[in-house]
Structure 1
Amino acid sequence: MLEVLRIPQREFLWNILWCLFVFSIIFGCILDLTGGLSSTFSIGRSSISSNMSEISGAIRERESLCLRLTLSNEVPIRAALLFAEGIFDSECYTVHPNGKESAELNVNFCPAKNVFAELFIKVFAGYSIERQLRVFEVNQVLPRFVTFVQIDQSIAQQKPPECFVSFRLQSRIDQLRLWICENFVFVDEEKLQNEPSLVSESEGNDGGKKLQLYFFCTRNQEMLYINWDLNSGEFQFRHNDIQNVTDLIQSMCANMNVRELRSRAHFPTILANVKNIVESMDERYQVNERLSSEMVERINFVRECVVRAEDMLVIRDFSDARKLYGRLTILNKELIGQKTVRMAARKELLDGLKFLNVSIDQFARLRVGEPSYSLIKECRKAIANDNLEALPKLFEFGV
């Protein structure tokens, strides 16, 4: 009787399992039909362009770039991975939305360097009840100066930059427009030529035309002015970050095929630091030499005490030997303290020399061709001849 009852129970359990299996297959097919395919993933240059313009309108509220990722079939985005070479501090940039599930995701990021990069984006999408997520991939090209955003003149004048680099540029305005279109993300070439609000050609006092552009750098929160007198050829970059200015000059000259460029570079803070280092360099050398000589004297005195203490031990004069070893202990503590002071003075001296070398490289990159090589050569010669007072003048006016 028991065996007869077990058979229907087994069949009943198998039927339940089979129904669950069929239901899971049907439910998965429904999710696949509503979940979207890779072809429905929509992100492009237009999305980035619209987000760039939003930053220029709310300059005080945002300190980064905004990339909007959207899925047109309303599948919620669970995470996004951004891969690029040279613009992130780590290998990739990860974003996990914490709020309500949505098919849109705004990714705020700020490239660490001015480099041309291709952004590889992976988006993980799916509903919260799903055990597996769908992965969508897309590539986005980032121009070299994507962190510079076009702004109006009224906003730019709120915080005018103090530093500038001026030089003469004999070139056509079409070349400058082409360089801007290739290296900035806010506008294309056709819009730059046809939109009068983007290129301001104002009548100067002498009747000549001037081209003026204003940007805001989202990385360091500094303004950038680009002024160009079209008649005289006088060109000027006004920006407080010397590294950005060097990148701008090198990129523009390479794009316009400029082989030689002489310029005047006015960076008051850097030049003041160079003058302070130059004025204190002799004193630092003297302090380093004095500490080295004092340490040599103490080391010789330590050797003498060691020899005398060993002699006292040989003749079994333990009282004098104890005194000599006590003196050695005191000398050892003094040497440790003096070495700490000497290493700090040496580090300060090396930091000053390193700052001078970095400044030489930066100010040389503000020139192109022979003026750049000549500046490096003259600066090295001034350092070798102990003529450091000539460095600030060489930095600002070149050779």
Structure 2
Amino acid sequence: MDGDQTPEEQIEIGDQEQNPQLDDNVELTIAFKFSLDQRVMEGCIISAVLEPRGQSTIVAVSVTNKIIIKDTEASLNITETIRCIAAAPFGEGYDCIIIGTDASVICYDVHNNLTVFRNDVPDGVNCFAYGKLGDNEEAIYCGGNCCIWGFDRYGANTYWTVTGDQVTTMCLSDYDGDGETELVIGSPDFEIRVFKNDLMRAELMETDEITSLSHVAAGCFAYSLNNGTIGTYVLKERQWRIKSKSNVSKIFNFEEEGLMVVVWKQGKVDLRFAHNGEVLSRHSVSNIVASATLMKRGDEDMVTVVGLDGKITGFQIQKATHGAIDKTQQLIREFGQKKHNLMMELSNYEQEEQLTEQERAGDFRIPADTDVAVLFVVNCESQLLSLRVEASHDIPIRGVLIFAEGLFDGESYIWIPPNEHQSRSTIDIPLVIDKDSTNDLHTKVFLGHVDSNKLMVMENTRILPRFCRFTLLKDEYAKFFFMPTGYIKFEINTKAAKLSDWVQESFTIDSSLVEMFDDAEGEFKFMGLRPKHDQSLMFKISHAQKTFEIYHDSIETMGAIVQSYASFFQIQDMECVAHFPDVFKEATEILEELEPMTEVRDRLTAELQERQTAVREVIIRAEDAIAIDNIPDARKCYIRLKANDAAARQAANLRIFQKYSEIFRWNNQDRCVKSLRRLNKIIENCARLRVGEPGRQIVSSCRSAISEDNKQIITKVLQYGASSQ
């Protein structure tokens, strides 16, 4: 076990062959130490080659919002608040610094001391990723609030798409093993989203906010969560994960394929195998880590860890002199533990064989053929889903341990019977489902008579269906059905021949009722279970018209159902007609609000720029007057400077703080960003109601309509699809 894990935390390892080419006889050693002599901002540290044929150097952002470069006295002053920085090879043989602020993205060429481009990003930039995405040329990708922007080396906008939440981290990795890289993004809503070009390819549900993503090997990317979990995905499947008490600062690949470095905020630095998470070497620094990066020194890559106090420690990888001995001792300990466990088990069998018949009768023996059934049951009266555990031969259940990530607090649940239920052989454990996601329930059931001092442990695994909070409604419970107002309608695909298979896999439904979906025709009503028991679902199928209608009021859930349906039957492209009156009304209201808000923002921005230009002009005149010893004119210029500076400050305050009307009770810029974020969310939800190219066209058509100020067609596109234009 790792030193940063609690006793109950385990490593989950998927099936994967060991890589014989990896050398596990390596370790991290300290190569250098120095200090920037300034406190730095968390997460804002990179290494870059800033001069032609130059050496890699450290670039960081100080807590005073300045960009500092190691071994130089100069610093870059940015008027906007810096959120993140990156390096991109936009120069001729050197890197440019990419700066993400709360309002724009700036590309700065240190070698030529010029700004290559500066593009406005209304909702700010939270993170960067540089590289080649699919068929696109290499570009810098910027993650914002519900949008992703891509800019080439000249600042041209080459990519734009929307996503469901803020983008807090991103990386480029070959997710599906097709030889082309996909864009993998992480968000605070616990989801990892994978984009193939500008179309979302997959959603991976995790148990906490995604804090870091990194490509670490071919077809493999690593992730970390806010609760201290780290792990990897290899070709769509999660291979392993480790939950720690610490939080991760940075993850990246190092030296060779198959190795990854994990830098923890508390100062630990781990060198691990990417395919199973095994630690090869561990080191630490004494200060709290701000971030880490790889820095070239000669031909060797150095793991460079930067503390919040500006102290920098560099690590190199080298052959370990004691690794073989440590590995042998570890194997001896493991085999010794296995031997001890087997000897204890053998001793128990020998003691049992020596028991007499009378002793056996008083020993409350459990029959060898005892079985435990674990199944899902629905209480329609209370609209509650429960996990039922039944033990055969009326053997009392003394306790149940359930592990399911994201379902329970702490990811586990323990049931111990109260005194009055010590002899029960059947129990029901209520399940409260908040999210539509497939989950594995691993159960350990402890069986034994009340007076027995020995317990039998039975293990079982059940898969919780993705839409388990819906169950097929029986006629006697029709009062629990609420007719939804939202629906989608699409043509029945020839691939979707056996609907019962998909329904049985995705919903909570009695096996005896599944057959009715084989030749489905008519209406099928589903009741919502707690906590969202007031949300009903209905299928309306007509083979004569070859149409499939799904009624439900939550557009997010509807999108998940459509994607599940298409994925199960391997449908590549699917168009639909959508009807969500409340959502489309909200989109219309946002579009109507955006135009005056944008006009006010543009007017105030132009006024501010005009005032700033006047200030710069007066400064130049004053300096010229001093240079020719014309003190009276210089005095007049400085008087004008004071007045223009006050006017510029007033314009800036108006742009930032003024309330423009009784409708907008808060800052116009803030309201504009929130409205754009909600509009992007609506566009993404409507795109997920389609599959493949029709979904991608929804995003691109809405983007074109917004850029061309043709907002009146957006609602029509959301409802009828891009082909309706």
Q: State whether TM-score is above 0.5.
A: yes
Q: Structure 2 residue aligned with 1:360, among 659, 673, 683?
A: 683
**Distance apart, 1:295 and its partner CA:** 6.3
Change (3 A) 1:128 1:371: same
Secondary structure of the corresponding residue to residue 94 of structure 1: strand
Contact 1:179–1:252 at 8 Å: present in 2 too?
Answer: yes
The aligned counterpart of 2:573 is: 260
Secondary structure of the corresponding residue to residue 227 of structure 1: strand
Query: If each structure's strand is expressed as a fraction of its own residues, which one has the higher value?
Result: 2
The aligned counterpart of 2:402 is: 81
The aligned counterpart of 2:548 is: 235
Change (3 A) 1:363 1:340: same
**Distance apart, 1:74 and its partner CA:** 1.2
Secondary structure of the corresponding residue to residue 281 of structure 1: helix
Change (3 A) 1:247 1:180: same
Gaps of 5+ in 2: 1-354, 619-641, 660-665
Inter-partner Cα distance in structure 1 for 2:570 and 2:479: 30
Change (3 A) 1:337 1:105: farther
What does the per-residue CA deviation read over 1:330-364, in whole Å, with 9 as the maximum and x for residues that have no partner? Answer: x9999779745588322221121112222222111
**Distance apart, 1:91 and its partner CA:** 4.9
**Distance apart, 1:258 and its partner CA:** 2.9
The aligned counterpart of 2:411 is: 92
The aligned counterpart of 1:280 is: 593
The aligned counterpart of 2:714 is: 391
**CA RMSD, aligned part only?**
4.5
The aligned counterpart of 1:165 is: 488
Inter-partner Cα distance in structure 2 for 1:366 and 1:75: 45
What does the per-residue CA deviation read over 1:174-227, in whole Å, with 9 as the maximum and x for residues that have no partner? Answer: 511222223223133x6533xxxx5698xxxxxxx9332111222522111101
Inter-partner Cα distance in structure 2 for 1:38 and 1:345: 72
Superposition pairs for residues 183-202 of structure 1, below 5 Å? 183-188=506-511, 191-193=513-515
Q: What is the one-letter code of the residue matched to 1:68?
A: R
**Distance apart, 1:31 and its partner CA:** 12
Higher relative contact order (CA 8 A, sep 6+): 1
Contact 2:604–2:654 at 8 Å: present in 1 too?
Answer: no
The aligned counterpart of 1:42 is: 372
The aligned counterpart of 1:66 is: 386
Q: Structure 2 residue aligned with 1:247, among 535, 557, 560?
A: 560
Inter-partner Cα distance in structure 1 for 2:386 and 2:704: 48
Gaps of 5+ in 1: 1-25, 202-208, 305-324
Contact 1:36–1:75 at 8 Å: present in 2 too?
Answer: no
Secondary structure of the corresponding residue to residue 258 of structure 1: coil
The aligned counterpart of 2:528 is: 217
**Distance apart, 1:234 and its partner CA:** 1.7
Contact 2:486–2:553 at 8 Å: present in 1 too?
Answer: yes
Superposition pairs for residues 294-309 of structure 1, below 5 Å? none
Q: Does 1:121 align with 2:432?
A: no
Contact 1:161–1:238 at 8 Å: present in 2 too?
Answer: yes
Q: What is the one-letter code of the residue matched to 2:363?
A: L
Change (3 A) 1:33 1:211: farther
**Distance apart, 1:242 and its partner CA:** 1.2
Inter-partner Cα distance in structure 1 for 2:440 and 2:580: 33
Inter-partner Cα distance in structure 1 for 2:471 and 2:582: 25
Inter-partner Cα distance in structure 2 for 1:339 and 1:133: 67
Secondary structure of the corresponding residue to residue 695 of structure 2: helix
**Distance apart, 1:383 and its partner CA:** 1.6
Secondary structure of the corresponding residue to residue 521 of structure 2: strand
The aligned counterpart of 2:135 is: none
**Distance apart, 1:132 and its partner CA:** 9.2
Contact 2:396–2:450 at 8 Å: present in 1 too?
Answer: no
Inter-partner Cα distance in structure 2 for 1:340 and 1:36: 74
Contact 1:200–1:213 at 8 Å: present in 2 too?
Answer: no
Q: What is the one-letter code of the residue matched to 1:259?
A: Q
Change (3 A) 1:224 1:298: same
Inter-partner Cα distance in structure 2 for 1:212 and 1:292: 56
Q: What is the one-letter code of the residue matched to 1:76?
A: R
Secondary structure of the corresponding residue to residue 357 of structure 1: helix
The aligned counterpart of 1:17 is: none
Inter-partner Cα distance in structure 2 for 1:301 and 1:95: 70
Q: What is the one-letter code of the residue matched to 2:706?
A: I
Inter-partner Cα distance in structure 2 for 1:31 and 1:74: 17
- The size of the alignment, in residue pairs, is 334
Superposition pairs for residues 303-382 of structure 1, below 5 Å? 339-341=656-658, 344-382=667-705
Change (3 A) 1:98 1:277: farther
The aligned counterpart of 1:33 is: 363
Q: Structure 2 residue aligned with 1:112, among 424, 430, 434?
A: 434
Inter-partner Cα distance in structure 2 for 1:346 and 1:132: 67
Under a length normalisation based on structure 2, what TM-score does the superposition of the two structures give?
A: 0.40
Change (3 A) 1:30 1:350: farther
Change (3 A) 1:165 1:36: same
What does the per-residue CA deviation read over 1:297-343, in whole Å, with 9 as the maximum and x for residues that have no partner? Answer: 89899999xxxxxxxxxxxxxxxxxxxx9xx99x9999779745588
Inter-partner Cα distance in structure 1 for 2:433 and 2:361: 37
Query: If each structure's helix is expressed as a fraction of its own residues, which one has the higher value?
Result: 1
Q: Does 1:150 align with 2:489?
A: no
Change (3 A) 1:176 1:70: closer
The aligned counterpart of 2:179 is: none
Change (3 A) 1:75 1:280: closer
Contact 1:160–1:223 at 8 Å: present in 2 too?
Answer: yes
Superposition pairs for residues 124-139 of structure 1, below 5 Å? 135-139=457-461
Contact 1:266–1:396 at 8 Å: present in 2 too?
Answer: yes
Change (3 A) 1:41 1:166: same
Inter-partner Cα distance in structure 2 for 1:351 and 1:31: 72
Contact 1:162–1:239 at 8 Å: present in 2 too?
Answer: yes
